Amino acid sequence: MENLALIDSFSEFKDDKLIDRVTLMAILEEVFRSTLKRRFGSDDNFDIIINPDKGDLEIWRNRVVVADGEVEDKNAEISLTAARKIEEDFEVGEDVSEEVKLIDLGRRSILALRQNLISKIHEHDNTNIYKQFKELEGEMYTAEVHHIRHRAIILLDDEGNEVILPKDRQIPSDFFRKGENVRGIIESVELKGNKPSIVMSRTSPLFLEKLFESEIPEVFDGLISIKKVVRIPGEKAKVAVDSYDDRIDPVGACVGMKGSRIHGIVRELGNENIDVINYTNNLNLYITRALSPARITSIKIDEEAKTAQVMLKPEEVSKAIGRGGHNIRLAGQLTGYEIDVYREGVEEDVELTEFSDEIEGWIIEEFAKIGLDTARSILEQEVEDLVRRTDLEEETVLEVMNVLKAEFED
């Protein structure tokens, strides 16, 4: 019973880890064999008999009887005199099996056993958690805010597993309090050391796709398929949808009456503006839809160069570009084409890069970020609007406009 009592003392924490008895006994054997190797140099001549039903194990040391004074390997051999203290009728050449009591290993070895066992069970537990969450990569998950740090929020799920929501995976408008439930997708799961690192994301396009699946029955049932999702988290998103059933309007089904279906998704994403468009294999039509709400006059596509030249009326240009250049950028990502916007009826225009002698490169880049890369595209804007949309001072914007106006006056 000594072994049983000691094993129970080792495994008193097993219930907290929800580890089954059979697995525990297998880990125990591994731990004991490791201890035997350290203590005796080898575990080859030891038998460990496990009884998972009783939660007990026995350790037997097997040695060969040799004549007194001829013992060369104390671990594998036993003298005749020592053997006859176990049983009186042993003879030279016979095998002796002697039970090893855990308590005989000494207090230090028992403490090392316990520490090793704890480590192995934690390793087993972490491996199971890693496997569990690795299968959940790309899936929606909910966990509770446990701790708020500067660079990340630490979440705990119902099983007490730690999930990390880094700052750069949060929507800019996200604000969470301790105890609040947070939804996102499991973006990555890695083993760092022996501990699983589980990272959640709310900025991934896949999160928006999963929200569509959870909120719109036709998407969940597969009646509507999501072809592609592109996002600028917290600002704007475009979702291309399609249906193989002509009776279903995929855009209408996703948006709902007066936006009723998509409203919950928009709210979850911090009022992110979501454009839902009908997917089509007709490239001209697809690019036209992607630039919505702008109305296109004509389009010229170079499929080899993956570029599209789009002609619009002057009043439609700002709609095509969108606030901060978001609309044209997302349209390009959605279609896979670089889209250049041209104003209908404007015969003369000059690329902004042509003014590099008079306008510094970083200023040209600031305008390009919001989709303005020609002289007229800037001159058509209001100064206040350009200051608001870029990181430029009003004085700098005015200087640029004066340079550009002089070009056309000449």
Structurally, the chain folds into a number of domains equal to: 4
Tell me if 312 is assigned to some domain.
no
124 and 141 inside one domain: no
DSSP state letters, 308-352: EEEEE-HHHHHHHH-GGGHHHHHHHHHHT-EEEEEETT-----BG
CATH number at residue 99: 3.30.1480
CATH number at residue 221: 3.30.300.20
| Joined tokens for residue 329 | 């950028």
State how far Cα 215 lies from the chain centre.
22
Residue 364, amino acid: I
Handedness of CA 264, 268, 274, 279 (dihedral sign): negative
Mean residue pLDDT of the chain comes to 85
Q: What's the rounded mean pLDDT across residues 53-75? A: 80
CA Rg value for the chain: 36
- Comparison of pLDDT for 296 and 36, the residue scoring more: 296
pLDDT score recorded for residue 198: 95
Assess whether pLDDT exceeds 50 at residue 69: yes
Assess whether pLDDT exceeds 80 at residue 407: no
25 and 125 inside one domain: yes
43 and 93 inside one domain: yes
210 and 198 inside one domain: no
List pLDDT tens digits, range 236-280: 999 999 998 888 999 999 998 888 899 999 999 999 999 999 999
Tell me if 257 is assigned to some domain.
yes
Tell me if 298 is assigned to some domain.
no
162 and 108 inside one domain: no
**Band of residue 184 on the pLDDT scale cut at 50, 70, 90:** very high
52 and 109 inside one domain: yes
pLDDT score recorded for residue 207: 97
pLDDT score recorded for residue 372: 84
Predicted TM-score of the model (pTM): 0.65
Assess whether pLDDT exceeds 90 at residue 160: no
Q: What's the rounded mean pLDDT across residues 352-374? A: 86
113 and 210 inside one domain: no
- Comparison of pLDDT for 285 and 314, the residue scoring more: 285
- Comparison of pLDDT for 297 and 38, the residue scoring more: 297
Tell me if 229 is assigned to some domain.
yes
Domain boundary among 131, 150, 176: 131
Angle, alpha carbons 191-192-194 (nearest 5°): 75
Domain boundary among 131, 165, 194: 131
Assess whether pLDDT exceeds 80 at residue 410: no
CATH number at residue 191: 2.40.50.140
For β-strands 95-100 and 56-66, DSSP reports them as antiparallel
Least confident range from 16-25, 114-123, 245-254, 288-297: namely 16-25
15 and 79 inside one domain: yes
265 and 385 inside one domain: no
Tell me if 292 is assigned to some domain.
no
pLDDT score recorded for residue 324: 83
List pLDDT tens digits, range 16-41: 455 666 677 777 778 788 878 877 78
Tell me if 363 is assigned to some domain.
yes
112 and 143 inside one domain: no
Taking the C-alpha atoms of residue 393 and residue 391, their distance in angstroms, rounded to an integer, is 7
| Joined tokens for residue 77 | 């051999």
Assess whether pLDDT exceeds 90 at residue 2: no
CA atoms lying within 13 Å on the CB side of residue 108: 2
**Band of residue 1 on the pLDDT scale cut at 50, 70, 90:** very low
196 and 208 inside one domain: no
DSSP state letters, 127-187: HHHHHHHHTTBTSEEEEEEEEE-SSEEEEE-TT--EEEEEGGGS-TT----TT-EEEEEEE
List pLDDT tens digits, range 129-146: 888 899 999 999 999 999
Q: What's the rounded mean pLDDT across residues 298-308? A: 92
Domain that holds residue 403: 352-409
Assess whether pLDDT exceeds 70 at residue 293: yes
Tell me if 324 is assigned to some domain.
no
Domain boundary among 131, 151, 174: 131
17 and 126 inside one domain: yes
Tell me if 337 is assigned to some domain.
no
